[in-house]
Amino acid sequence: MAGYILKRLLSAVPVLIGISVIVFLIMAMIPGDPATAILGSFATPENVAALNEDLGLDKPLVQRYFIWLGNMLQGDFGRSFALNRPVLDEVTERFNATLVLAGSAFVLCTVFGIAAGVISAANQYGLADKAITFFVLLGISIPSFFLGMMMILVFAVNLRWFPVSGMWPIFGDRTIWVLLDHLAMPATALAVVATGVVARLSRSAMLEVLRQDFIRTARAKGVHERRVIWGHALRAAMVAIIPVLGLQAGFVLSGAVYIEMVFQWPGVGRMLVDAILRRDLLLVQGGVVFVAACYVMFNIMVDVAQSLLDPRIKT
């Protein structure tokens, strides 16, 4: 098992290099003088000169890439000129907030999505199936930012159950309960779409598995139907569900961008959008590479979970 984890970690190296190349190339597409483009409205002559020296922007493309990569490996993601602080500091701070939001949404969508999918499949064409199918359809059709806005309107403004926005109150203690109070709406809004997708997939994976011969074998042995569904069938269906959960984590992270905007959540998504609008490109570059790298690591965890579940994967 340790060998397998090591192998997967090693295989992440080319992926991470690929990610850095892609981001670098995209940023290299920016027309005009790179330093001025990167600095945008902060382009004072001193800044331009500093950046040119920092990134070696007068050098050829390939050389520039390696300078940039080398800097990153030393933890130097450059400096945000808009915020006047190192990119990495800003990104890690913001990423923590995103992790709280996206992480809780991911847990919600996994638990509820799989449960809904299994119940739906076990009662195919029944009332529960129809109800779940309807809510799933609604969930995957509603824009998460619109859902978030409507939730603010109903639960924060009208019913006053939850605070309108933000992660922490401006004044007062930062306890877990305060956090949960602030987290409830954005996490739910973010989880809805992903829950729909997971439920849909779990349902079809379950239906696929329930037709398999080994389910008939289990029934022929006299295994209780509850165990046939939640044991035999779900376990086999998880082989198809887990990889999608990895993909879904990416969708949750993506959706977090909108939700952070709507709920004024101080996460990395909002930071990126603000940075793009301010053309603070080094912050964009650093943020994208950092989050993508974290996502790659998460997917390695997913692969390891898959190999624990499925003995047919060679470890």
Nearer to other proteins, 179 or 306 (CB): 306
Tell me the closest approach of the beta carbon of residue 231 to other proteins, in angstroms: 9
Pull the structure tokens for residue 182.
């602030």
The single-letter code of the amino acid at 146 is F
CA distances from 80 to 38, 87, 273, 276, 284 (A): 10, 5, 14, 12, 9
CB of 141 to other proteins, least distance (A): 4
Q: Give the nearest distance from C-beta 115 to other proteins in angstroms.
A: 17
Shortest distance, position 56 Cβ to other proteins, whole Å: 19
Between 108 and 236, name the residue whose CB sits nearer to other proteins: 236
Which run of H or E residues covers position 85? strand 85-86
CB of 33 or CB of 175, closer to other proteins: 33
Q: Which pair of structure tokens corresponds to residue 272?
A: 């990126």
Strand partners, 79: 86
Q: Dihedral through CA 230, CA 233, CA 239, CA 241, nearest 10?
A: -60
- Reduced 3-state DSSP string for 228-282: HHHHHHHHHHHHHHHHHHHHHHHHHHHHHHHHHHHCCCCCHHHHHHHHHHCCCHH
Q: Which is nearer to other proteins, 11 or 175 (CB)?
A: 11
Question: Minimal distance in Å, beta carbon 173 to other proteins?
Answer: 27
Distance, in Å, from the CA atom of 186 to the CA atom of 190, rounded to the nearest integer, reads: 6
- Smallest distance, other proteins to C-beta of residue 4, A: 14
Bridge partner list, 85 = 80
> Looking at beta carbons only, is 187 or 283 nearer to other proteins?
283
Q: Identify which of residues 179 and 215 has a Cβ nearer to other proteins in the complex.
A: 215
